[in-house]
Amino acid sequence: MNETIHGMPPTLHDVAREAGVSLATASRSLNGSTRKVNETYRARVLEAAERLGYVANLSAQSIAKGTSSTLALIVSDIADPYFSSIASGVVRDAEQLGLVSTIGITQRDAKRELDIVRTLRGQRPRVVIVAGSRFVDAELDEQLTRELEAIRNLGGRVVMVSQRSLPFDTVQIDNHGGARDLALALVERGYRSFAALTGVSSLMTARDRLAGFRAGLAEHGLELAEERVFESDFTRDGGYDAGGRMLERGIDDIDCVFAVNDVMAVGAMSRLREEGVDVPGRLAIAGFDDIATARDVTPALTTVRLPLEQVGAAAIELATAETDGHAIVTISGEVVVRESTPQRG
């Protein structure tokens, strides 16, 4: 049975009446309250709930327990394989802990991110994981910090998957070090003249990867001139657009392109192919992240491999660990050389 005799879904009042207990006892038995309930009464309540087909009110449970059984994952773009891979690791491990995962998408908009977190605060999630590059915006960061601290004060856990710029447990990726290692590997393969396709400078991930790449070049006395850096959206279409602007400028003085993520590299490869540029014969290209597509495109893409599902799992581990709220886990990448950057010279 899943309806009362009046044709309406059963309520907590119905369960209490069926079990012969008070409303408060029924509530504590079903919502996981920390207040002790007599085991006999609890068993009667559970049996009554099952007979009636009662479904617990999650909002009421949140109030009773201080938090819900919800894990809220906030990502920039779920269509981006980078974030979908992280989400896979988060959701898999969250299920093992009995948490129900919900996903909010910011579209790389700091204001939208803040609005999502404000909405979540009223739902009292057990865990909030914010995955995505931080923005260079002190005012919005201050507001976001206040909202996340409010969630934490209500009993929720907060974990960032990003740069360590906010005062919460953080899984950070060594973007600078990975890009530096990639630059060193490309120089060792004979490349000397580079262009870069990157996201806007207010996006810390793009900024850190570009800075790391420049640092690696500098170790060999090479530089990446500003006129060879092309900013665009941090997406496949952004890479396509940036690749077109690079071609308009001219590529006679370039032998290798560094795209700060794989999806931009894939977009640029499509544009170069359309314009008849031989990749990698005329122009080599490398990315960052090692999404699955990097192995399937032709030529297969040289990149920096990140264990993205492990990143998601690390976020869950932090969320369930006893920390002071300021723990940091750093995930490093590994350069993977493929056909898109053949040996030169």
pLDDT at 1 over 50: no
CB-based contacts of 56, cutoff 8 Å, min separation 6: 30, 31
In a domain, 7, yes or no: no
Query: Would you state the pLDDT for residue 56?
Result: 61
Last residue in a domain, options 65, 85, 107: 65
CATH of the domain at 36: 1.10.260.40
Inside any domain, residue 5 = no
Q: Quick one: 294 and 181 in the same domain? A: yes
- Residue 181 is predicted with a pLDDT of 98
pLDDT, one tens digit per residue, over 310-326 is 899 999 999 888 888 88
Do 90 and 153 belong together in one domain? Answer: yes
Residue 343 is assigned to a structural domain of this protein: no
Which CATH number belongs to the domain containing residue 81 in this structure?
3.40.50.2300
Please report whether residue 321 resides in a domain: yes
Quickly state the pLDDT bin for 60 (edges 50, 70, 90).
very low
CA distances to 153, 176, 232 from 195, rounded to whole Å, are 47, 17, 14
17 & 33 share domain: yes
H helices of the chain, where? 12-19, 23-31, 39-52, 58-65, 81-96, 110-121, 138-153, 175-188, 204-218, 236-249, 262-274, 293-296, 308-320
Task: Give the total number of structural domains in the chain.
Answer: 3
Domain contains 17: yes
pLDDT tens-place string over residues 130-176: 998 787 777 888 999 999 999 999 889 999 998 888 899 999 999 99
pLDDT at residue 238 above 90? yes
Write the DSSP symbol of residue 33.
Answer: -
337 located within any domain: no
By C-alpha distance, which of 166, 211, 212, 154 is closest to 74?
A: 166
User: Model's pTM, two decimal places?
Assistant: 0.77
Classify strands 334-336 and 303-305 as parallel, antiparallel or unpaired.
antiparallel
Residue-range definition of the domain harbouring residue 254: 175-305
- Asked if residue 99 has pLDDT above 70, the reply is yes
Residues 253 and 284 in one domain: yes
pLDDT in tens, 243-273: 999 999 999 999 999 999 999 999 999 999 9
In a domain, 266, yes or no: yes
Does the CA dihedral 212-214-219-220 come out positive or negative?
positive
Is the model's pLDDT at 308 over the cut of 70? yes
Of 264, 149, 290, 255, the C-alpha closest to 210 is 264
182/299 same-domain check: yes
Same domain flag for 160 and 275:
no
Last residue of a domain, one of 49, 65, 81: 65
In a domain, 6, yes or no: no
Residues 254 and 265 in one domain: yes
